[in-house]
Structure 1
Amino acid sequence: MKTNALLQNLQAAVRRLQTVVETELKPLSSEVLNAKARPESWSVLECLEHLNRYSRYYNPAFAQALQPARQPVSEAAEVRYSWLGRKSLDIVRPGNGKASKTVKHMNPAGSRLSRGVLDEFLQHQQELLTLLANAQAADLNQKAVPVEFFKLLKLRTGEALEFVVLHEERHMQQAQRAAQHAQVTAPVLMV
């Protein structure tokens, strides 16, 4: 895929994520946002806190990787993928129904979370949009982004950006399912 097309697709996806939070999740009660379908599943806020933890790592890593390019990069350049990048993208792709274990420090299960998680998520998405705009002038094929759980491994900037957005889409779908379940199973108050 061409650099410009990839970045436009990622920006559109981030804007959709922002819209879901603003229109579907923010209006929900704290009870619904914290409800779980099962004790081992994540609530809406836990899904978004998981993404916030990733953003706290990856947004600064992207800012570092996207420092002004030494030489101009063509928007028509093809984004290339390493074996690690392709495998990582396949794992987090929203259509992949396989459950994945998360590393312990990225697992928010059992955390005490408030509605502030939603605001933090939206702030991270705004930062990500700025980073994606800055990526227009960067070499997305440069191996510059250390993998969060094993920093000796590096992803190419383009595949790392795509990984983060796909990961966010996957967990947003999970959050929407949690919200839907909580609203269906919420007790109805009869007056």
Structure 2
Amino acid sequence: METHTFITQLQDRVQHVKATVQSEFLPLDAAALNFKPQPASWSILECLEHLNRYSRFYLPAFEKAIAQVPAAGSDEVVKYSWFGKKSLEMVNPASAKKHKTLQRMNPHNSQLSKAVLDEFLQHQDRLLQLLSRAATVDLNKKALPVEFFPLLKLRLGEALEFVVLHEQRHLQQALRVKASASQPLSLVV
């Protein structure tokens, strides 16, 4: 896929994520945002805090990479490494396979407020700005360390797509939590 099309698709996805958070979660009260379908599950705020933790790592890394990566044309084809493909497969929202998260990225049982939503939306605005800037650089350059193992590097395009897919995956999770909160409770007698 050409860089221009690739970036446009990622921007559309981020806009959708942002709009969904604004329409589905901003109107909710703290109790609904902290509701857990089961004790081991994440709440809506925990899903978004998990994404905030990733954004705190990746957004500055994108900023640095975009500043250092050489320019390229918008007709350049975005390529994938084996590791990049595996990483994207792991966070694909269409995949039902669950993965354990790193302890430092796991917000389970955190005391969270609506400030998580504000931070998340700020991250989305920054990501959109970075995507616009990324449209002019070589997305095939290996430039981004992987959060859990910095010696491994993803190509810039792979890392951008990874973050967006990861957000979509956990947004779906948060929407499932919201839906389960609105289900009537059934009593077993």
TM-score by length of 1: 0.95
- In structure 1, the residue matched to 2:11 is 11
Check conservation: 1:10, 1:165, Cα contact below 8 A.
yes
SS in 2 for 1:58: helix
- In structure 2, the residue matched to 1:98 is 97
SS in 1 for 2:138: coil
Instruction: Find out whether 1:183 has 2:177 as its counterpart.
Output: no
CA deviations on 1:77-98 (whole Å, 9 max, x unpaired) are 1101001100000010000000
- In structure 2, the residue matched to 1:64 is 64
Q: Which amino acid aligns with 2:42?
A: W
SS in 2 for 1:51: helix
**Matched residues in 2 for 1:174 and 1:82: separation?**
28
Matches within 5 A, 1:1-191: 1-67=1-67, 69-70=69-70, 72-185=71-184
CA deviations on 1:85-122 (whole Å, 9 max, x unpaired) are 00000010000000010000000001000000000000
Displacement after TM superposition at 1:3 (Å): 0.7
CA deviations on 1:32-85 (whole Å, 9 max, x unpaired) are 110001111100000000000000000000000000654x41111110100110
Q: Which amino acid aligns with 1:160?
A: A
Q: Which amino acid aligns with 1:16?
A: H
Check conservation: 1:4, 1:76, Cα contact below 8 A.
yes
**Matched residues in 2 for 1:148 and 1:4: separation?**
26
**Matched residues in 2 for 1:69 and 1:179: separation?**
40
**Matched residues in 1 for 2:112 and 2:100: separation?**
21
- Percentage of identical aligned residues: 54
Displacement after TM superposition at 1:159 (Å): 0.4
TM-score by length of 2: 0.96
**Matched residues in 2 for 1:46 and 1:30: separation?**
12
**Matched residues in 1 for 2:127 and 2:44: separation?**
21
Check conservation: 2:69, 2:143, Cα contact below 8 A.
no
Check conservation: 1:55, 1:124, Cα contact below 8 A.
yes
Q: Which amino acid aligns with 1:52?
A: N
Q: Which amino acid aligns with 1:15?
A: Q
Displacement after TM superposition at 1:183 (Å): 2.0
**Matched residues in 2 for 1:69 and 1:77: separation?**
14
CA root-mean-square deviation: 1.3
**Matched residues in 2 for 1:179 and 1:60: separation?**
31
Check conservation: 1:73, 1:138, Cα contact below 8 A.
yes
The number of equivalent residue pairs is 186
Check conservation: 1:68, 1:138, Cα contact below 8 A.
no
